[in-house]
């Protein structure tokens, strides 16, 4: 029932409410009106017996008047009056009681009925005697009729009086009871009215409650926090129910839209952050070089001038040394902001090692194990040299001269090209490795382009921490491996 | 969120409470309407009085319908008639006008009763009316007083000669109680109506005391209306000269009037009253010694005989012409048997 009501259209609900309350009010009114009418009829009937008796008395007088007139003048109009009144009275006395009872009024009715019969019989005899012109006979009969009429009048008057008293008592009782019924009808009407008011309140509440909830939700959304707004429960299937459903869908759409925008914003900001970091690191590296080498272009040109001078003097080893230095610095000048081929990175390491070996008189034993097929793989610039520099600085620096060995391996491992720089130096503490891997050891703590910088750039470039790996054992050396994904086109070479 | 839930549930509870109230009001309205309907239905019930129906109706027509004797006999007749599925109407009563016995007899005939119990008299009018009733098939039974020569079917009589004799005997007893043996004066008050049994009683008294030391004088008391008896008695006694030793009353009103007169005149003990009928006042007077003796009719027996006679005639067409009933003597010796119940005598 409630479900059915809830699913009704609002217009129908309103019609149903007003129709129901109106029907109840009308029904109660009609019921009270009809019963009141019945009561009024009953009250009207109270004195009907008196009215009937009065009519009987009037008609009796008419009979007697007709009889008297006919006996006096033999007037046919009087005779007509006599017969018509007799007919009326005969019909009327049929309504009177004819049985013997112990009820005084009923018994008097019986007496009246029989006396009227006696009267009519005697009057008929008088009329017959009149027609027979028997004066004594009809005079006697007329006297007899007059006497009976006198008795009848007394009887009717008496019973009328008695009935009037009884009827008055009944009337009083009826009107008294009627007051109670009026009070009762007022109470019933009040109860029905109250019920109607409550019905209207309940029904209008049923209609307006979902609207109120909807409006409060709308206010919540408009206050600017739609994500925390819970969807509304759909109670009914009416217009409000449909609006609620649409509202919920709209709310879900808003939430979804906001989530998407948020994800997009996060991605964009991450990208920006990455680019920014990359640029920062590169600039940082460049700055470091610029700071440490003051003016590489100037130095490079100077070195070239030195190499030409050495060539003219026939100092081939000096020429070789200076060229290597020049290559090293040229590379630094040229390749700082772009990707390079792995072969170029290896060449840079070769130059670097050559320079150091000249500097340290061939103390560094440098071994290369290169998979030639990987030489064309593009890598970020300046990633191997810092590792080699690190191995020299912190690995083999403090061991016996001539014993230090640095191995550069380039090999294929699955879809990755692995670049490994290993040394047989003193090794690195676990704590330091941990700090390096967690990026806690700042670049300022290293000299030159540090390992942290390489790690950061690889991380940004490949978007993965897995690219970089450091393994070390105390007094056995350190092994740093970079795993670079091989591009699809180069994998099958 | 929780607040909203609590609010919603509160609203729901409020709606349920309202719905409950609506249900209660609906029930109250329906119950009220049902009760209202019942009230309206019951409005006219007061009119529907219960009454009993009878197979026959008889009219009782007494000389003086207001006398206590008439009322007592009518009461007995009614009770016995009801037991025998008959109803007896005291014709002329409850009417706005008082009618003569002849008129009441005419009324009974006009209203076509099944039978008439009539306190007869010797008038021609009464005789003619009895004959008229008889001609219309209405049997008439006379009671207490007969209508000689009429076509009445039966006469339920009291033994008035014996009553006269007993009055005479009482008078002689009173005379014999006089230590000097002197004559006693006796005033006999008879009724002014036309019923004939007063004469019978008077004759019997006179015959009984004839030659004895009792002097009797009779006076007629006007009882034509209920108020004249007392006035008549007072008039007679005021103008009587020397008060009689004994007053014999042959009517209930006369008896009570004489009793009241001697009490009022402080003559109790000086005048001996021999009363008639066993009304409460007379019984009380016997207890107090103001009335020496009274003779009461056996009203029940008389009533039964009247109804029986009519029923017998209607059922069989024949009935005994004469039924007789004796008077009951009440004096200080047996007055306790006739004391009215719940009355301070």
Q: What is the mean pLDDT of residues A345-358?
A: 86
At A202 the three-state DSSP class reads helix
According to the model, what pLDDT value does residue A336 have?
58
Taking the CA of residue B297 and the nearest CA in chain A, the distance in Å comes to 26
How much is the pLDDT for A146?
Answer: 92
Task: Give B54's contacts in chain A (Cβ within 8 Å).
Answer: 100-102
- Partners of residue B51 in chain A, C-beta under 8 Å: 101-103, 106
* HSE value, Cβ hemisphere, 13 Å, CA-based, for B304: 8
Shortest distance, CA A198 to any CA of chain B (angstroms) = 6
* pLDDT at residue number B341: 64
Inform me whether the C-beta atom of residue A169 falls under 8 Å from chain B C-beta atoms.
yes
Q: Is the pLDDT of residue A297 over 70?
A: no
Superfamily in which the B160-296+331-338 domain is placed by CATH? Response regulator (3.40.50.2300)
pLDDT at A446: 44
What's residue A334's pLDDT?
Answer: 66
The conformation of residue B213, written as its DSSP 8-state character, comes to S
Averaged pLDDT for residues B20-49: 76
pLDDT digits (tens, 9 = 90+) for A276-290: 888 777 777 666 665
Task: Assign a CATH topology to domain A335-490.
Answer: Heat Shock Protein 90 (3.30.565)
Separation CA B264–CA B251 (nearest Å): 20
Q: Do A188 and B26 touch (CB under 8 A)?
A: no
Residue, of A87 and B1, whose pLDDT is higher: A87
Q: Is A182 in CB contact (< 8 Å) with chain B?
A: no
**The pLDDT value given to residue A114:** 92
Contact B244, B174 (CB under 8 A): no
The answer, for A104 touching chain B at a CB cutoff of 8 Å, is yes
Rounded Cα distance, A464 and A354, in Å: 33
Cα A384 from Cα A381, distance rounded (Å):
8
pLDDT tens by residue, A76-91: 888 999 999 999 999 9
- Residue reference for tokens 């249900």: B23
Same fold, B56-159+299-326 and B160-296+331-338: yes
- pLDDT of A226 strictly over 80: no
Where b means 16+ CB within 10 Å and e means fewer, A260-295 reads: eeeeeeeeeeeeeeeeeebeebbebbbebbeeebee
What is the per-residue pLDDT for B290? 85
Cβ–Cβ contact A161 with B under 8 A: yes
pLDDT the model gives residue A225: 76
Give the contacts of B261 (CB within 8 A, at least 6 positions apart): B233, B234, B237, B267
Phi, psi (degrees; rounded to nearest 5) at A400: -60, 135
pLDDT of A199 above 70: yes
Q: Where are the domains of chain B?
A: 56-159+299-326, 160-296+331-338
CA distance A205 to chain B (A): 8
pLDDT tens-place string over residues A439-455: 665 544 443 347 777 88
- A316-334 and A296-313 are packed helices; what angle lies between their axes, rounded to 10 degrees? 160
Which of A151, A162, A199 is the mutation pick for testing B, counting most B CBs within 10 A? A151
Average pLDDT over residues A342-362: 84
Chain A residue numbers touching B29 (CB-CB < 8 A): 24, 28, 188, 191-192, 195
Q: Do A151 and B19 touch (CB under 8 A)?
A: no
Interface test with B, best of A57, A155, A188 (most B CBs within 10 A): A188
pLDDT digits (tens, 9 = 90+) for B251-303: 888 899 999 998 988 888 888 999 988 888 888 889 888 888 999 888 888 89
Question: In this complex, how many residue pairs, one in chain A and one in chain B, have their CB atoms less than 8 Å apart?
Answer: 135
CB nearest to A28's CB, from B21, B33, B44: B33
A355 sits in which H/E element: helix A342-359
From A472's Cα to the closest Cα of chain B, the distance in A is: 58
Whether residues A188 and B29 touch (CB distance < 8 A) is answered with yes
Instruction: Kindly provide the ipTM of the predicted complex, given to two decimals.
Output: 0.77
**Alpha-carbon gap, residue B3 to A421, rounded angstroms:** 66
CB nearest to A181's CB, from B19, B36, B111:
B36
Q: What is the arithmetic mean of pLDDT over A478-488?
A: 86
Q: What pLDDT score was predicted for residue B343? A: 45
Q: What pLDDT is stored for residue B8 in this prediction?
A: 60
The mean pLDDT of chain B is 85
Question: Which residues on B lie below 8 Å from A205 (Cβ)?
Answer: 11, 15
Structure confidence at residue A86 (pLDDT): 92
Strand order in the sheet with B293-297: B214-221, B184-191, B246-249, B272-276, B293-297, B327-330
In the predicted model, is pLDDT for residue B13 greater than 50? yes
CB contact under 8 A, B43 and A147: no
Which residues of A are less than 8 Å from B25 in CB distance? 191-192, 194-195, 198
Q: Which two tokens stand for residue A111?
A: 């007496």
Binding-face residues of A in 342-401 toward B, CB within 8 A: none
- Is it the case that residue B52 has pLDDT exceeding 90? no
Residues of A in contact with B32 (CB under 8 A): 184, 187-188, 191
Q: What number is the average pLDDT over the span A453-458? A: 80
Ranges A66-70, A294-298, B128-132: which has the least confidence: A294-298
Smallest CA–CA distance, residue B243 to chain A, in Å, is: 46
Given an 8 Å threshold on Cβ–Cβ distance, is A198 in contact with B22?
Answer: yes
Residue range A411-429: mean pLDDT, rounded = 87
B56-159+299-326 — its CATH code? Answer: 3.40.50.2300
Task: Select from B1, B38, B48, B111 the residue whose CB has the most chain A CBs within 10 Å, as the one to mutate to test that interface.
Answer: B111
Asked if A169's CB is within 8 angstroms of B111's CB, the reply is: no
Average pLDDT score, chain A: 82
> Whats the size of chain A, residue-wise?
493
Instruction: State the Cα–Cα distance between residues B239 and B236, nearest whole angstrom.
Output: 5
The 10s digit of each residue's pLDDT in A110-129 is: 999 999 999 999 999 999 99
Nearest to B18 among A115, A118, A198 (CB): A198
A195 touches chain B (CB under 8 A): yes
For the segment B290-299, what is each residue's pLDDT rounded down to a tens digit?
888 999 888 8
- Backbone φ and ψ of A375, nearest 5°: -65, -25
At residue A492 the predicted structure's pLDDT band, cuts being 50, 70 and 90, is low
Residue B13 with chain A: CB contacts under 8 Å: none
User: Measured between alpha carbons, how far is residue A191 from residues A17, A177, B17, B28, B40 in Å?
Assistant: 17, 21, 16, 7, 19
- Of the pLDDT bands very low, low, confident and very high (cuts 50, 70, 90), residue A296 is low
**CATH class of domain segment(s) A2-213:** mainly alpha
Please name the member of B18, B54, B107 whose beta carbon is closest to the beta carbon of A100.
B54
Question: pLDDT at position A447, please?
Answer: 38
Q: Which residues pair with A419 in a beta bridge?
A: A410, A482
Closest CA to B85 of B53, B40, B114, B63: B53
Q: What is the pLDDT of residues A44-60, one digit of tens each?
A: 777 777 888 888 889 99
Whether the Cβ atoms of residue B232 and residue B222 lie closer than 8 Å to each other:
yes
A396-418 average pLDDT score: 85
On whether the CB atoms of residues B68 and B229 are closer than 8 A, the answer is no
In angstroms, the Cα distances linking B280 to A478, B102, B226, B255 are 154, 31, 18, 12
What are the tens digits of pLDDT across the range B152-180? 999 998 888 888 999 999 888 888 887 77
Contacts from A269-277 at CB under 8 Å and sequence distance 24+? A274/A460, A274/A463, A277/A456, A277/A460
Window from A146-155, A180-189, A331-340, A389-398 with minimum mean pLDDT:
A331-340
Binning pLDDT at 50, 70 and 90, where does residue A28 land? Answer: confident
State the best of A163, A198, A205, A227 to mutate against chain B, taking most chain B CBs within 10 Å: A198
pLDDT value at B181 more than 80: no
- Whether residues A115 and B110 touch (CB distance < 8 A) is answered with yes
Residue ranges of the domains in chain A?
2-213, 335-490
């Amino acid at each position: 029932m409630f479900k059915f009501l809830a699913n009704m259209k609002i217009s129908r609900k309103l019609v149903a409410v007003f129709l129901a309350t109106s029907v109840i009010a009308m029904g109660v009114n009609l019921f009270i009106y009809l019963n009141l009418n019945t009561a009024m009829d009953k009250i009207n009937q109270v004195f009907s017996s008196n009215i009937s008796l009065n009519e009987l008395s009037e008609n009796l007088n008419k009979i007697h008047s007709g009889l008297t007139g006919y006996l006096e003048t033999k007037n046919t109009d009087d005779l007509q009056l006599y017969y018509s009144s007799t007919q009326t009275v005969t019909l009327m006395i049929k309504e009177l009681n004819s049985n013997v009872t112990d009820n005084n009024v009923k018994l008097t009715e019986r007496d009246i009925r029989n006396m009227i019969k006696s009267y009519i019989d005697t009057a008929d005899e008088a009329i017959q005697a009149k027609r027979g012109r028997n004066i004594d006979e009809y005079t006697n009969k007329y006297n007899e009729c007059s006497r009976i009429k006198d008795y009848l009048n007394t009887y009717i008057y008496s019973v009328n009086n008695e009935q009037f008293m009884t009827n008055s008592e009944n009337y009083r009782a009826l009107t008294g009871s009627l007051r109670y019924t009026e009070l009762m009808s007022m109470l019933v009407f009040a109860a029905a009215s109250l019920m109607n008011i409550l019905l209207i309140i309940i029904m209008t509440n049923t209609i307006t409650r979902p609207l109120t909830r909807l409006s409060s939700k709308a206010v919540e959304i408009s206050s600017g926090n739609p994500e925390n707004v819970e969807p509304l429960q759909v109670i009914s299937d009416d217009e409000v129910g449909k609006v609620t459903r649409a509202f919920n869908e709209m709310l879900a759409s808003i939430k979804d839209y906001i989530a998407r925008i948020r994800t997009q914003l996060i991605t964009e900001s991450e990208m920006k952050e990455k680019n920014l970091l990359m640029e920062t690191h590169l600039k940082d590296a460049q700055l470091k070089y610029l700071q440490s080498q003051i003016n590489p272009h100037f130095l490079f040109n100077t070195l070239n001038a030195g190499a030409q001078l050495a060539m003219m003097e026939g100092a081939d080893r000096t020429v070789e040394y200076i060229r290597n230095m020049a290559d090293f610095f040229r590379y630094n000048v040229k390749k700082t902001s772009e990707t390079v081929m792995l072969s170029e990175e290896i060449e840079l390491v070769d130059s670097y090692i050559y320079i150091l070996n000249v500097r340290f008189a061939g103390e560094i034993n440098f071994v290369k194990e290169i998979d030639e097929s990987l030489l064309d793989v593009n890598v970020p610039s300046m990633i191997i040299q810092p590792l080699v520099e690190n191995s020299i600085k912190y690995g083999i620096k403090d061991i016996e001269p001539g014993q230090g060995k640095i191995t550069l391996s380039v090999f294929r491992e699955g879809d990755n090209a692995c670049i490994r720089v290993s040394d047989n130096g003193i090794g690195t503490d676990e704590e330091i490795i941990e700090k390096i891997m967690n990026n806690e050891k700042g670049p300022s703590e290293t000299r030159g382009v540090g390992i942290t910088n390489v790690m950061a750039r690889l991380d940004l470039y490949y978007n993965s921490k897995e690219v970089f790996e450091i393994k070390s054992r105390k007094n056995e050396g350190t092994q740093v491996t970079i795993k670079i994904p091989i591009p699809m086109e180069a994998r099958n070479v | 969120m929780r607040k909203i839930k609590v609010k919603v549930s509160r609203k729901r509870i409020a709606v349920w409470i309202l719905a409950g109230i609506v249900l209660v009001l609906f029930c109250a309205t329906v119950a009220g309407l049902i009760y209202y309907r019942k009230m309206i239905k019951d409005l006219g019930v007061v009119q529907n009085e219960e009454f009993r129906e009878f197979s026959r109706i008889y009219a009782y027509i007494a000389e003086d319908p207001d006398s206590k004797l008439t009322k007592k006999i009518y009461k007995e007749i009614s009770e016995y008639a009801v037991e025998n599925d008959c109803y007896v109407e005291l014709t002329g009563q409850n009417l706005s006008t008082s009618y003569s016995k002849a008129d009441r007899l005419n009324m009974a005939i006009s209203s076509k009763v099944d039978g008439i119990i009539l306190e007869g008299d010797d008038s021609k009018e009464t005789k003619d009316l009895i004959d008229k009733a008889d001609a219309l098939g209405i049997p008439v039974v006379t009671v207490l007083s007969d209508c000689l020569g009429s076509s009445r079917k039966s006469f339920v009589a009291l033994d008035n000669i014996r009553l006269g004799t007993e009055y005479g005997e009482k008078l002689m007893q009173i005379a014999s109680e006089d230590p000097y043996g002197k004559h006693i004066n006796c005033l006999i008050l008879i009724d002014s109506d036309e019923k004939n049994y007063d004469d019978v009683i008077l004759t019997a008294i006179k015959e009984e005391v004839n030659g004895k030391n009792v002097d009797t004088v009779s006076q007629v008391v006007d009882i034509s209306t209920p108020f004249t008896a007392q006035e008549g008695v007072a008039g007679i006694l005021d103008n009587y000269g020397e008060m009689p030793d004994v007053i014999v009353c042959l009517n209930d009103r006369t008896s009570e009037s004489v009793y009241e007169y001697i009490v009022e005149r402080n003559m109790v003990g000086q005048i001996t009253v021999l009363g008639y009928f066993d009304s409460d006042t007379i019984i009380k007077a016997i207890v107090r010694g103001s009335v020496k003796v009274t003779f009461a009719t056996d009203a029940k027996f008389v009533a039964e005989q009247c109804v029986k006679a009519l029923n017998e005639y209607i059922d069989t067409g024949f009935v005994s012409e004469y039924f007789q009933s004796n008077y009951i003597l009440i004096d200080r010796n047996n007055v306790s048997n006739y004391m009215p119940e719940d009355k301070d005598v």
